[in-house]
A and B are shown apart, each in its own frame.
Chain A
Amino acid sequence: MEPSQATAERLTRDEIDLYDRQIRLWGMAAQARMRSAKVLLIGLGSLGTEICKNVVLCGLGHLTILDDTVVQEEDLGSQFFIGSEDVGSLKLESAKARIQDLNPRVHLSFDTQSIESKDADFYKGFDLVIGTELNTSQMVKLNELTRKYNIPIYLAGSNGLFAYIFVDLIQFDAEDEKLKGSQPTEKGQISTNTEVTEVKTRTDEDDDKKVFEVINTRHHYKSFQQMIKTASLEGRLNRRQIKRLSSAVPLTLALLRAEHEIGQLNFLTLKEKAVETCRQLGVPETVLNDTYVEQFTKQEGVQFAPVSAIVGGAIAQDVINILGKRQPPLSNFIVFDGITLDMPIFEF
């Protein structure tokens, strides 16, 4: 456990009791750091709802939610801060009391303006931005702004049983511990975007046979636009890994690369885009399974509660980790396949 004295603001006794089960996991210092963080969540759809629930419960300091939509009947099938009596009202107006009720300690702001109406200055004060269910051009623009102000961003969306997470922390230094193995960790580049900058060892205070390596890593990130343009797996997968590659990977990227309105693509046009994406990725077209193409055509943009719970859980966990400075962050593109439960992480 980290000494609580290390943080300027100490947690109160009430906070320690309330957050007991998580403080035992990430320590007092991380909990106190989370309390001082300001986060912007864009979009309170199914994914946004899950992310919101998780970060509010765990005691984030300030959360601003930006959403200008009105509650639709179909939202009731994937979101739990609203009820049937809210259909036709502004979603944030309907949801805000329920969100605040989750954890009265969190400072919440609700903004019902559109993302388009926000200028660059709007983003300045946030430590982190999470954008959900945005289209490609919105994500490109948003990411340009967050890069301008050096703000970490998570972008995520879902297509029925399938979903993705994109992460851009620009540059991020992390510290992690693991039990020392027979092969000591060495300094230097370890993957496309990650280098090990320092390795120290630490002996467990209770058991001196347990030796840990404390590993400092530096993670370099690409912008969203650069990622979708240059994503490649060329030479990175062996035959077995290619065989195992989910069709959801090229299909998700294909939807992100296509300039289109939701529902515009049919089986053939989507398949064509996905074949192009396979070429860019440097994987054979045979990874594309037609039943997946069909499902993506039908389920494009569909929000589904259990998928949101999984992907929203993963994003919230990573946000908590980087705010609390625990464990290395995700880097940088994750796809979830809700049929096989496969969830590969790609460093593009």
Chain B
Amino acid sequence: MGRESSITRIVGPENYAKLQQFKCLIVGAGGIGSELLKDCILMGFGEIHIVDLDTIDLSNLNRQFLFRQKDIKQPKSTTAVKAVQHFSNSKLVPYQGNVMDTNQFPLHWFDQFDIFLNGLDNLAARRYVNKISQFLKKPLIESGTSGFDGYIQPILPGNTECFDCTKKETPKTFPVCTIRSTPSQPIHCIVWAKNFLFNQLFTSDQSSTTGDSDGNDWGTDDKEEIERIKQETNELHDLQQIVHHQDKVHITDILKKLFVKDIEKLLQLDNLWKSRAKPTPLTDDLIDSAKDGHDSTDLNAIWSLEEQISQFINVTEKLMDRIVEEDYNIEFDKDDQDTLVFVATAANIRSHIFGIPIKTVFDIKQIAGNIIPAIATTNAIVAGLSTLTALRLLNFLPYAKTNSGLDVNMAFTARASNLSKDRYLSNPKLAPPNCNCAVCAKVARGVVKITEKGLEKLTLSQLIDLLKKKYNYPSETSLIDTSDQRLLVDFDFEDLLDRTLSQAKLHDGSVILFSDEEGDESEMYRKPLEIYLDVVEESAINSEIELPALEIPLFTPPKQEEEDEGKETSTEESPEKEEDKNGIVILDEDEGKDEKDGTTTKRPRSPDQTENDSKRAKTSKNHNDENGVIELD
């Protein structure tokens, strides 16, 4: 009996022959990806491609079983493929790269695969692959783990829920005043130390933090407090000078400013302390006496206040030495111990002042570095479920025919996640697409093939005419570049109409949204059409551009009021939503104009608010105070 004897007894010889012709794409060669690769090889997939951007790190080795100590710093994808050679009978193709890079991975590259298996660790890439699967109408198995918890979600475009049909958790953000004036948990002090203090002292780009505009949500209306915060920010520039001039004698001045004077000023704002415990500032004497104190080196022990102060001074000296060599810019990195100890000691001293528990450096590393625990077993279970389900989605199980995606089960680790005592896994059947989903239900999707020449020649107005004619859109429409939510054309913005697509900065991989802005007599609108521009060789199509055959349905848009009640399931917090029950605020970004391009950035009525919001969240980490929100990335 050959190596195929097990699998043929399960799928039958015909299906096994088909499987050997199948190509699958594994996105990610980390914890889940390593396991997926092994399972796909053993199951007998003919060809397996695997993509990963990352290189191997020591902390991967507890679960990413294809990597060894000697592989540290090597690319994950190529190392993984080398490590499986002795048991592989499949054709394997590794790529080191970002799956979202349209130059390396254009749409037609994705089109060669029969199924996509995700082993990703971030929302942006998950959303991206989900969208690709929707554009190409190819099955995707999405999965993820966090500690003991894991899940898989098979996605059959048009048939089952897509990744974005359900709301996803957004990164945690905090109002400015909680971080700057009234911390009550260790995480508030860690965010202060990392995102505010560390950046102010050691990172070169400070411009954003000075422009505290009045349009911000501060989490408070107290003018006095806002003034204090702004003044404090300005005063920190003096401290940065101490750092830049390597003025080591005056490190204690930094401590005295942060932990004595600033706290004393805070105490003068009586309003803040009516319903809160008052902070207790350090004293100059304490700081002076602790400075030559004994250092603890055990990163897993709780250090005394004196040890924190003494370590703060030591590590600041080290960072002062480094900052000149490193071009006046040091970025926080959880694996850079100097930056970690600086943040940990500063956070702990602040915690002490506010009566908040002190943490070990080990624990602070997890919070500041946003480390998610990860273990071999959960990854193995999730990857096993994912590959097993691939067989069902591809209809390879002769005793369990899949007539619709709705016959297939998703799965999550119910017992490990304390959701059930009598089931190890929960296995709900897949749901149909959520009719409010901005990604799979509210828009129609199509791939427009265009040549390089077409991009150079065709104007936006010509493109719009082609689209109107082909899909019966009315005369008033709009066009948006969804990658940056840039308005290209609408009824009162026609400046770009005569520009060619390439002049309008559209290129291979651009995703544009074409919307009906008029409606017909009965208030029915054509569904918005999201178009992927796939640049192809001239020989691939008959003319310069080829539009896909699509029926774009009509729909009645919901009344404005209903939308405002939050019925629209934007997959992230709607930016209009001022504050949720956790008191976490996400702010709207000011409308902005880019004069140079002559384009206007408008917050679109696009169904694709999700990408926009995550971008917004991303930019906010660089402009903490400007947006009034501090995010822990």
B381 touches A53 (CB 8 A): no
* Chain B residues closer than 8 Å to A59, beta-carbon distance: 62
* Chain B residues closer than 8 Å to A125, beta-carbon distance: none
* Chain A residues closer than 8 Å to B58, beta-carbon distance: 17-18
Given A1-B363, A19-B62, A21-B63, do A77 and B44 touch, yes or no (CB 8 Å)?
Answer: yes
* Chain B residues closer than 8 Å to A28, beta-carbon distance: 300
In the complex, A80 has a CB within 8 A of chain B: yes
- Sorting the interface of chain B by its residue count into under 10, 10 to 19, 20 to 34 or 35 or more gives 35 or more
Of the listed residues A76, A77, A292, A340, the one surrounded by the most CB atoms of chain B closer than 10 A to its CB is A77
A299 touches B9 (CB 8 A): yes
In the complex, A25 has a CB within 8 A of chain B: yes
Q: Among the listed stretches B382-390, B509-517, B589-597, which one makes contact with chain A, having 4 or more residues with CB under 8 Å of it?
A: B382-390
* Chain B residues closer than 8 Å to A303, beta-carbon distance: 6
In the complex, B374 has a CB within 8 A of chain A: yes
Residues A37-89 near B (CB distance < 8 A):
50, 53-54, 57-59, 72-80, 82-84
In the complex, B84 has a CB within 8 A of chain A: yes
A102 touches B65 (CB 8 A): yes
In the complex, A111 has a CB within 8 A of chain B: no
In the complex, A295 has a CB within 8 A of chain B: yes
Q: Quick one: which of B356, B362, B388 contacts A338, CB cutoff 8 A? A: B388
In the complex, A205 has a CB within 8 A of chain B: yes
In the complex, B38 has a CB within 8 A of chain A: yes
Given A57-B65, A83-B87, do A313 and B381 touch, yes or no (CB 8 Å)?
Answer: yes
In the complex, B109 has a CB within 8 A of chain A: no
In the assembled complex, the CB of A93 is this many whole angstroms from the nearest CB of chain B, namely 15
In the complex, A304 has a CB within 8 A of chain B: yes
* Chain A residues closer than 8 Å to B10, beta-carbon distance: 160-161, 299, 302, 304
CA distance A77 to B603 in the complex (A): 54
In the complex, B148 has a CB within 8 A of chain A: yes
Q: Among the listed stretches B216-224, B242-250, B421-429, B452-460, which one makes contact with chain A, having 4 or more residues with CB under 8 Å of it?
A: B421-429
Closest to B380 in A: A313
A317 touches B1 (CB 8 A): no
A298 touches B9 (CB 8 A): yes
With A206-B357, A346-B422 given, can you name 10 additional A-B contacts, CB distance below 8 Å?
A: A1-B360, A19-B62, A53-B380, A77-B2, A80-B42, A305-B42, A306-B385, A306-B388, A313-B377, A341-B410
A343 touches B377 (CB 8 A): no
Residues A147-204 near B (CB distance < 8 A):
160-161, 178, 191
CA distance A46 to B578 in the complex (A): 53
* Chain A residues closer than 8 Å to B392, beta-carbon distance: 339
Which residues of B come within 8 Å of A, CB atoms?
1-7, 9-10, 35, 38-39, 41-44, 58-59, 61-63, 65, 68, 84, 86-87, 89, 147-148, 185-187, 300, 356-357, 360, 362-363, 366, 371-381, 383-385, 387-389, 392, 397, 399-400, 409-411, 415-416, 418, 421-425, 427
In the complex, A283 has a CB within 8 A of chain B: no
* Chain A residues closer than 8 Å to B374, beta-carbon distance: 21-22
In the complex, A344 has a CB within 8 A of chain B: yes
Of the listed residues B9, B68, B89, the one surrounded by the most CB atoms of chain A closer than 10 A to its CB is B9
In the complex, A211 has a CB within 8 A of chain B: no
In the complex, A259 has a CB within 8 A of chain B: no
* Chain A residues closer than 8 Å to B35, beta-carbon distance: 309
In the assembled complex, the CB of A208 is this many whole angstroms from the nearest CB of chain B, namely 10
In the assembled complex, the CB of B425 is this many whole angstroms from the nearest CB of chain A, namely 4
Closest to A179 in B: B418
In the complex, A307 has a CB within 8 A of chain B: yes
Given A17-B58, A22-B374, do A101 and B87 touch, yes or no (CB 8 Å)?
Answer: no
In the assembled complex, the CB of A218 is this many whole angstroms from the nearest CB of chain B, namely 15
Which residues of A come within 8 Å of B, CB atoms?
1, 4, 16-22, 24-25, 28, 50, 53-54, 57-59, 72-80, 82-84, 98, 101-103, 160-161, 178, 191, 205-207, 291-292, 294-295, 298-299, 302-310, 312-314, 316-317, 320, 330, 334, 336, 338-346
A295 touches B62 (CB 8 A): no
B366 touches A54 (CB 8 A): no
CA distance A207 to B411 in the complex (A): 32
- The main secondary structure of chain A at its interface with chain B is helix
* Chain A residues closer than 8 Å to B42, beta-carbon distance: 77-80, 305-306
- Which 8 A-B residue pairings sit nearest by Cβ, starting from the closest? A309-B384, A305-B42, A83-B86, A313-B381, A313-B380, A76-B3, A310-B384, A25-B373
Given A17-B58, A21-B59, A310-B385, do A4 and B6 touch, yes or no (CB 8 Å)?
Answer: no
Given A160-B9, A339-B399, do A317 and B422 touch, yes or no (CB 8 Å)?
Answer: no
CA distance A24 to B63 in the complex (A): 14
12 residue pairs of the A-B complex, CB under 8 angstroms, read: A1-B300, A22-B375, A74-B1, A76-B89, A77-B6, A84-B3, A102-B65, A292-B399, A306-B384, A309-B39, A313-B384, A330-B424
Q: Quick one: which of B7, B59, B185 contacts A20, CB cutoff 8 A? A: B59
CA distance A269 to B316 in the complex (A): 78
A291 touches B399 (CB 8 A): yes
A317 touches B148 (CB 8 A): yes
Of the listed residues B42, B397, B418, B422, the one surrounded by the most CB atoms of chain A closer than 10 A to its CB is B42
* Chain B residues closer than 8 Å to A341, beta-carbon distance: 385, 388-389, 409-411, 425, 427
* Chain A residues closer than 8 Å to B59, beta-carbon distance: 17-18, 20-21
A317 touches B377 (CB 8 A): yes
CA distance A46 to B373 in the complex (A): 27
CA distance A80 to B422 in the complex (A): 32
CA distance A304 to B61 in the complex (A): 25
CA distance A1 to B186 in the complex (A): 15
Of the listed residues B378, B380, B416, B425, the one surrounded by the most CB atoms of chain A closer than 10 A to its CB is B380
A78 touches B6 (CB 8 A): yes
Closest to B1 in A: A74
* Chain B residues closer than 8 Å to A295, beta-carbon distance: 399
B185 touches A304 (CB 8 A): no
* Chain B residues closer than 8 Å to A291, beta-carbon distance: 399-400
CA distance A67 to B294 in the complex (A): 55
Given A307-B384, A340-B409, do A345 and B415 touch, yes or no (CB 8 Å)?
Answer: yes
In the assembled complex, the CB of B428 is this many whole angstroms from the nearest CB of chain A, namely 10
CA distance A308 to B381 in the complex (A): 9
In the assembled complex, the CB of B201 is this many whole angstroms from the nearest CB of chain A, namely 26
A58 touches B384 (CB 8 A): no
A302 touches B6 (CB 8 A): yes
B380 touches A54 (CB 8 A): yes
* Chain B residues closer than 8 Å to A54, beta-carbon distance: 376-377, 380
B9 touches A16 (CB 8 A): no
CA distance A135 to B44 in the complex (A): 28
* Chain A residues closer than 8 Å to B63, beta-carbon distance: 21-22, 57
* Chain B residues closer than 8 Å to A307, beta-carbon distance: 384, 388
Closest to A300 in B: B9
A306 touches B39 (CB 8 A): yes
Given A77-B5, A310-B385, do A21 and B399 touch, yes or no (CB 8 Å)?
Answer: no
* Chain A residues closer than 8 Å to B381, beta-carbon distance: 309-310, 313-314, 317
* Chain B residues closer than 8 Å to A82, beta-carbon distance: 86-87
In the assembled complex, the CB of A154 is this many whole angstroms from the nearest CB of chain B, namely 13
* Chain A residues closer than 8 Å to B362, beta-carbon distance: 1, 16
A305 touches B411 (CB 8 A): no
